[in-house]
């Protein structure tokens, strides 16, 4: 495994190990990966690998690192399962943690950020409970599709880095069994979940909470490092609120429903990750849910901002062990303003315009007007954004859309006024051949099932590969920068 010896860019980090258990509360446990009977490389994300200097790995070395989990050079010497708790559908659960995954390595990317390589389906840990620590191949394929679509649409998401089929037959109650198995590696901006703070609060370990706050500030919010100790936790909380509100806005602009917005599925950098029962909207429906077991619609499309705010309140509760409650509550009150700013920004980016109003409030109201019309008109979600990307610059193109009839009449007039009065942002993007196509790629559940069926029934991976290529083409054309 010498492919990295001459790599011009590979910067290993081991920052997480510095947490240790100095505060009398270990943040992680050393674990052993599962020994799989097979290791067939199905997906390697060389685009993401290039950002962290790992694209030079041969396929054999890739498998050695991301299926057998041989340590990367000068990196974390062995996998660690991170300890955390969490509210799951608003019920507190102290018996969770990294149950089928672990932190494998840390690296610095070409933007100077600390990123983590974490796993899913890598075997049992002390937190697996009755689970087998495995991941279905179908689940891995679904995560590829979710992350590629979200990245193309400008959502701040983890990257599916690697998928390797592992040769086991798994029994699952929610899909035909036995089914194929895989181990997935994701590249993400922080392995620190809200639930990590909740666990330490549950254990009443203020010293460890303060240590974790310092870790997060130093790695993710360094501008806060010189604040007095009494101000660090509230300031860190404000940054987490801003990042989380922005993420919720991006989900709304992408027409995405995460499905399981538990506190252990949200992290301190506001990056979307951990894709189980996700869905994209066929059309705007604020009550649309992704998880079949979300009977009360707690995490429905329209309730995702509320879920994010509620989860932040739990994080604030944990931080109250090291900060004044009044200061934390004051920070929490900033969520609505941050969400409005996030919506104004996310919808402007998705529509390829500089702004949707003269203020964040105007931009938020414009986004709400657009969503209200889309709900009433029942137009395909992604089609409407495709047709009007660039605002007025695409008015003639929208007139030739498959749903052009929806853009006539009085109901659309207020939306047309918003779109045509907005200034196009980088209008040269419309010269991309992608915008010659009448409709954009989508990711509705029927297509997801068809992509899986091609693999399961015919061992045809070309359908998945073609879809990934198409999504990346869309992402290159939209160029929604994050």
Q: Give one DSSP letter per residue of 415-456, joined into a string.
A: HHHHHHHSPBSSGGGGGSGGGGSSS-----HHHHHHHHHHHH
Structure tokens of 315?
């994080």
Lowest mean pLDDT among 11-25, 225-239, 368-382: 11-25
Q: Which of 98, 116, 264, 387 is catalytic?
A: 264
Task: Please report where in the chains the tokens 């602009």 appear, as a residue.
Answer: 253
What mean pLDDT do residues 332-343 have? 97
- pLDDT of residue 90 exceeding 50: yes
User: Is the same domain home to 207 and 164?
Assistant: no
- Output phi, psi for 136, to 5 deg: -75, 150
User: Is the same domain home to 121 and 184?
Assistant: yes
Lowest mean pLDDT among 18-32, 177-191, 370-384: 18-32
- pLDDT of residue 188 exceeding 70: yes
What mean pLDDT do residues 146-169 have? 98
In a domain, 2, yes or no: no
User: Is the same domain home to 384 and 430?
Assistant: yes
In a domain, 4, yes or no: no
What mean pLDDT do residues 419-443 have? 97
Strand partners, 107: 12, 115
Burial tier of 27 (Cβ tally within 10 Å: 0-12, 13-18, 19+)? buried
Clarify whether 264 is annotated catalytic. yes
Give the pLDDT of residue 425.
97
Radius of gyration, CA atoms only, the chain: 22
User: Is the same domain home to 85 and 184?
Assistant: yes
- To 10 degrees, what angle do helices 304-319 and 206-220 make? 120
Structural domain span for residue 173: 11-191
For residues 71 and 55, give the distance between their C-alpha atoms in angstroms, rounded to a whole number.
16
User: Is the same domain home to 15 and 162?
Assistant: yes
- Where residue 5 falls among pLDDT bands split at 50, 70, 90? low
Closest to 63 in 3D by CA, of 136, 124, 135, 3: 3
For residues 43 and 447, give the distance between their C-alpha atoms in angstroms, rounded to a whole number.
19
In a domain, 123, yes or no: yes
To the nearest 10°, the Cα dihedral for 257, 260, 266, 271?
-30
Give the pLDDT of residue 3.
62
Give the pLDDT of residue 264.
96
- pLDDT of residue 213 exceeding 70: yes
Task: Write the CA distances from 359 to 154, 342, 343, 422, integer angstroms.
Answer: 21, 12, 11, 13
- Where residue 7 falls among pLDDT bands split at 50, 70, 90? low
In a domain, 155, yes or no: yes
Give the pLDDT of residue 9.
86
What mean pLDDT do residues 298-311 have? 98
Q: Of 317, 342, 367, which residue is a domain's last?
A: 342
- pLDDT of residue 21 exceeding 80: no
What mean pLDDT do residues 293-316 have? 97
For residues 414 and 410, give the distance between their C-alpha atoms in angstroms, rounded to a whole number.
8
User: Is the same domain home to 246 and 167?
Assistant: no
Asked if residues 28 and 83 have their Cβ atoms less than 8 Å apart, the reply is yes
User: Is the same domain home to 143 and 244?
Assistant: no
What mean pLDDT do residues 16-45 have? 92
- What spatial distance separates the first Cα and last Cα of the chain, rounded to whole Å? 33
Q: Of 313, 342, 371, which residue is a domain's last?
A: 342
Bond from prior residue into 178 cis (ω within 30 degrees of 0): yes
Which residues make Cβ contacts (< 8 Å) with residue 366, sequence separation at least 6? 344, 347, 356, 357, 418
In a domain, 5, yes or no: no
User: Is the same domain home to 317 and 402?
Assistant: no
Burial tier of 5 (Cβ tally within 10 Å: 0-12, 13-18, 19+)? exposed
User: Is the same domain home to 369 and 435?
Assistant: yes
For residues 261 and 279, give the distance between their C-alpha atoms in angstroms, rounded to a whole number.
13
Task: Write the CA distances from 374 to 108, 347, 415, 455, integer angstroms.
Answer: 41, 14, 10, 35
- pLDDT of residue 447 exceeding 70: yes
Lowest mean pLDDT among 19-33, 101-115, 281-295, 455-469: 19-33
Closest to 254 in 3D by CA, of 380, 321, 347, 328: 347
Burial tier of 402 (Cβ tally within 10 Å: 0-12, 13-18, 19+)? exposed
User: Is the same domain home to 170 and 93?
Assistant: yes
Give the pLDDT of residue 1.
46
For residues 263 and 279, give the distance between their C-alpha atoms in angstroms, rounded to a whole number.
19
User: Is the same domain home to 158 and 284?
Assistant: no
Strand partners, 122: none
Domains contained in the chain, number: 3
User: Is the same domain home to 125 and 171?
Assistant: yes
What mean pLDDT do residues 332-346 have? 97
Q: To the nearest whole number, what is the mean pLDDT of the chain?
A: 96
For residues 82 and 243, give the distance between their C-alpha atoms in angstroms, rounded to a whole number.
22
Give the pLDDT of residue 234.
97
* 3-class secondary structure, 11: strand
Task: Please report where in the chains the tokens 């936790």 appear, as a residue.
Answer: 233
Query: By percentage, how much of the chain surpasses pLDDT 90?
Result: 94
Give the pLDDT of residue 207.
94
What mean pLDDT do residues 376-395 have? 98
Task: Write the CA distances from 86 to 91, 193, 331, 433, integer angstroms.
Answer: 8, 9, 21, 46
Give the pLDDT of residue 358.
95
Q: Of 342, 374, 391, which residue is a domain's last?
A: 342
């Amino acid at each position: 495994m010498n492919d990295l010896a001459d790599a011009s860019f590979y910067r290993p980090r081991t920052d997480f190990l510095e947490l240790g258990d100095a505060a009398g509360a270990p943040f992680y446990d050393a674990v052993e990966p599962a020994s799989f009977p097979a290791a067939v490389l199905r997906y390697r994300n060389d685009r993401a690998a290039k950002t962290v200097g790992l694209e030079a790995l041969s396929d054999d070395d890739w498998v050695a690192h991301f299926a057998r989990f041989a340590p990367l050079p000068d990196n974390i010497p062995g996998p660690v399962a991170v300890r955390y708790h969490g509210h799951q559908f608003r019920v507190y659960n102290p018996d969770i943690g990294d149950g089928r995954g672990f932190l494998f390595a840390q690296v610095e990317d070409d933007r100077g950020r600390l990123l983590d390589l974490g796993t899913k389906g890598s075997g049992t840990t002390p937190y697996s409970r009755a689970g087998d620590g495995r991941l279905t191949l179908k689940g891995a394929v679904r995560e590829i599709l979710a992350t590629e679509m979200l990245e193309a649409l400008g959502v701040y998401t983890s990257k599916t880095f690697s998928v390797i089929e592992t040769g086991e037959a798994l029994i699952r109650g929610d899909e035909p069994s036995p089914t194929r198995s895989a181990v997935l590696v994701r590249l993400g901006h922080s392995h620190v979940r809200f639930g990590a703070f909740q666990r330490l609060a549950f254990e009443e370990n203020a010293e460890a909470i303060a240590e974790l706050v310092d870790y997060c500030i130093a790695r993710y919010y360094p501008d806060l490092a010189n604040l007095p100790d009494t101000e660090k936790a509230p300031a860190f909380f404000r940054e987490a609120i801003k990042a989380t509100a922005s993420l919720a806005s991006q989900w709304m602009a992408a027409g995405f429903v995460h499905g399981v917005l538990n506190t252990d599925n949200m992290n301190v950098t506001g990056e979307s990750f951990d894709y189980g029962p996700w869905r994209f909207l066929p059309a705007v429906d604020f009550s649309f849910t992704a998880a079949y077991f979300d009977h009360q619609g707690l995490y429905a499309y329209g309730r995702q901002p509320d879920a994010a705010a509620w989860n932040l309140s739990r994080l604030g509760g944990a931080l109250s062990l090291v900060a004044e409650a009044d200061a934390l509550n004051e920070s929490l009150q900033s969520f609505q303003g941050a969400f409005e700013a996030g919506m104004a920004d996310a919808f402007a980016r998705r529509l390829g315009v500089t702004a949707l109003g003269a203020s964040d409030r105007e931009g938020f109201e414009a986004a709400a007007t657009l969503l209200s019309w889309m709900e009433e008109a029942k137009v395909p979600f992604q089609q409407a954004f495709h047709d009007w990307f660039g605002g007025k610059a695409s008015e003639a193109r929208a007139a030739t859309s498959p749903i052009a009839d929806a853009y006539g009449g009085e109901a659309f007039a207020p939306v047309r006024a918003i779109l045509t009065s907005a200034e196009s942002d980088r209008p040269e993007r419309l010269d991309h051949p992608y915008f010659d196509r009448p409709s954009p790629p989508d990711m509705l559940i029927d297509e997801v099932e068809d992509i899986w069926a091609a693999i399961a029934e015919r061992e045809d991976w070309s359908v998945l590969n073609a879809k990934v290529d198409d999504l990346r083409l869309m992402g290159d054309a939209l160029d929604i920068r994050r």
